[in-house]
Amino acid sequence: VRLEERFPTLRTPDSPTRKIGGAVLPVLETRKHTKRMYSLDNVFSQEDWQNFLKRLDNALPGAAPVFWCDPKMDGLALELVYEKGVLTCALTRGDGEQGELVTAALRTVRNLPGREGAAAGAVWPDLLEVRGEIIFSRADFEALNARQRKANAKPFANPRNAAAGTVRQLDTTITASRPLRFLAYGFGEVRFGAATPWQTYEEVMARLRAYGFETPPEGRLCASPAEVEAYCDAVRLNREALAYDIDGVVMKLNDLEAQDALGYTARAPRFAIAWKFPAQQATTQLLDITVQIGRTGVLTPVAELEPVTVGGVVVRRATLHNEDEIRNRDVRVGDTVIVQRAGDVIPEVVRAVLSKRPADAVPFVFPHCCPSCGAPAHRIEGEAAWRCVNLSCPAMVRQSLAHFVSKAGLDIDGLGQRWIELLVAAGRIKTPADLFTLKVEELLHYERMGVKLASKLVASLDRARKDAPLQRFLCALGIRHVGEQTARTLAREYADMDALGRASLEELQQLPDIGSEVASSIRAFFEDVPNRELLQRLRELGLWPVRAEKAGEALQGTTPAVSGALAGLNVLFTGSLSMPRSQAQRMAEEAGATLAVGVSRKLDLLVVGADPGSKLDKAQALGIRVVDESEFLKLL
């Protein structure tokens, strides 16, 4: 580090100093993939597989297909861009067209090759986009969860979620502390300089290994469909012995020219297919059924199980979804039940083994009042869930506060479930705003709270108060149906909560992935008086994030006017005004506006002069607020 501080040119992208983490990103940026990252079609049976072979034969008559086969890794798909053997960029798959930039996180991954890692004589292409999966081995996953539990943090549901969460960590010190691995199984764009182009998938995989990439275990060439079938059987039977979670086998035509000839459907390649394994199941005893209250008040029945290993992971609890599911499956306490873990979902109880049912087992009676506060629960017509509607139900308050500070929310270091429970029980916090009034001295009165922990906690809260990105804040508020993806979309569109609060149902529904249900729930959030009061209190306490670009400007030293009449708004002028346009623009900027370059959904305000032209039509079509010059001056 010292060397690089003195000689900055030594700080190359592949420097070891970048592998130890340390960068904290305000928010993940997105970027387009050079070539689209497709999904894969699946087959589940011999019949589906034969149909796939028939389709191949129709497209390439008479060709005896040879396949490269390897296990389907159950992690998060990524693309790594290597320029002459140096990692310059890492992107998640995202929606296939564009992904999130996770380069800083990937620099901390230990099993990636550096220039020194390549086998002797392996000549890197000028550009190589390597595709693969980022995962935890099962053993590393268990160790990570043990650490999470010890630190009072929520354990991850499965290796896949843990990998996805770790890669998208904004604080790369955390990423670096977790042993992620990248397994390479394909490529995107390749520009061969001195290297020779590839002809077969087998050769691609050999080259990837020669550059120093780890590839999926047990990958091999199968010279006929019969060999593929034998391979699938062998991998399925051997599944538990592998170090990684897999959920099937992928078959890819070995001949790259044939791959090109076949091409892609809208969703997936025609030259490759995944044979998905059935979900892993195990049999165990149902010891009890408990009912949990979620942060939205939903009563969720949970099966408390005799611990059982399912696909290499110990399962103690499983969801029973809701009242109807328990009734339909007729699951009773004391039953022997079949439990399954299907890829990325939480374990679930499939059914009871009726032949083993004890004579005295009785049907479960679903509680119609909240098991936490005793208030009557309600079941809304058309919904499966019972809800506690007591807004001050302690379980609900605890859950929503826990969510507010969790990784999905503001990610407050040191403030786990246990502390939330204590502070709520003591009556010290009732809403998220109360958190930001906590003082070190008062925390010291709590058992097991020392000066060090209390100071760390107050410091993390303070940091979050000043620096929380809008997207995280939106997630933390727990608006129904607003998860990470929706929060990202909203934070891209709106400058702050004020701007979002002004958005109409119609406007919200024009955004990608936002349908009527999500839009209504956002509107309902803003129409609720306690929510508005909460936002007002948070604003007074100084927690008022503005859109990421603003944070970026602040980082670069130009302080955006966050207090002006047009603070955070994207403003555009069209038509001729009574003053020079540049003067109007300067006035807008001084009032905190950002000047937009054209009409898009991101625009907050269009100021129109005489003869406005097509911009006005477009803005009206998008439902953007339009004002004339005198209204603009009034606003200022």
Q: How far is the CB of 487 from ligand IVH (least distance, A)?
A: 24
Q: Which is nearer to ligand IVH, 268 or 453 (CB)?
A: 268
If you search the block for the tokens 């006005």, which residue do you land on? Answer: 616
Residues pairing with 627 in the sheet: 607
Q: Which is nearer to ligand IVH, 44 or 524 (CB)?
A: 44
Q: How far is the CB of 265 from ligand IVH (least distance, A)?
A: 12
Q: Which is nearer to ligand IVH, 24 or 40 (CB)?
A: 40
Cα distances from 63 to residues 51, 60, 224, 228, in angstroms, run 16, 6, 11, 16
CA 25 to chain centre: 16
Q: Which is nearer to ligand IVH, 158 or 471 (CB)?
A: 158
Q: Which residues of 92-108 are buried (b: 16+ CB within 10 A; e: fewer)?
A: bbbeeebbbbbbbbbbb
β-strand pairing of 127-135 with 86-92? unpaired
Q: Which is nearer to ligand IVH, 247 or 348 (CB)?
A: 247
Q: Which is nearer to ligand IVH, 18 or 72 (CB)?
A: 72
Q: How far is the CB of 79 from ligand IVH (least distance, A)?
A: 10
Q: How far is the CB of 268 from ligand IVH (least distance, A)?
A: 8
Of all helices (H) and strands (E), which one includes residue 158? none
How many angstroms separate the CA atoms of 311 and 345, rounded? Answer: 13
Torsion angle of the four alpha carbons 281, 282, 287, 288, in this order, in degrees rounded to the nearest 10: 0
The DSSP output letter for 200 is B
CA 82 to chain centre: 25
CA angle 495, 475, 104 (to 5 degrees): 85
Cα distances from 476 to residues 62, 176, 605, in angstroms, run 58, 25, 28
How many angstroms separate the CA atoms of 574 and 612, rounded? Answer: 5
Task: Please count the other Cβ atoms lying within 10 Å of the Cβ belonging to residue 383.
Answer: 11
Q: Which is nearer to ligand IVH, 264 or 356 (CB)?
A: 264
Structure tokens at 405: 């500070």
Residues pairing with 235 in the sheet: none
Q: How far is the CB of 219 from ligand IVH (least distance, A)?
A: 7
Q: Which residue among 19, 32, 35, 72 is the active-site one? A: 72
Q: How far is the CB of 30 from ligand IVH (least distance, A)?
A: 18
Q: How far is the CB of 406 from ligand IVH (least distance, A)?
A: 28
Q: Is 501 exposed, middle or buried (0-12, 13-18, 19+ CB in 10 A)?
A: middle
Residues forming the site for ligand IVH (CB under 6 A): 39-40, 70, 72-73, 77, 133, 185-186, 216, 250, 252, 269, 272, 274
Structure tokens at 358: 């004890």
Residue at shortest CB range from ligand IVH: 77
Q: How far is the CB of 269 from ligand IVH (least distance, A)?
A: 5
How many angstroms separate the CA atoms of 94 and 517, rounded? Answer: 23
DSSP calls for 231-273: HHHHHHHHGGGSSS-EEEEEEEESBHHHHHHH-B-SSSBSSEE
Q: Which is nearer to ligand IVH, 65 or 301 (CB)?
A: 65
Q: Which is nearer to ligand IVH, 70 or 255 (CB)?
A: 70
DSSP calls for 15-84: -GGGTT---B-SS--EEE-SS------EE-SHHHHHHHHHHHHHHSTT----EEEEEEE-SEEEEEEEET
Q: Is 304 left (phi over 0), alpha (psi -120 to 50) or beta?
A: beta
Q: How far is the CB of 33 from ligand IVH (least distance, A)?
A: 12
Identify the sign of the CA torsion 192, 195, 200, 203.
Answer: negative
Identify the sign of the CA torsion 509, 511, 514, 520.
Answer: negative
Q: Which is nearer to ligand IVH, 100 or 335 (CB)?
A: 100
Q: How far is the CB of 249 from ligand IVH (least distance, A)?
A: 8
CA 299 to chain centre: 25
Active site includes 72?
Answer: yes
Q: Which residues are catalytically annotated?
A: 72
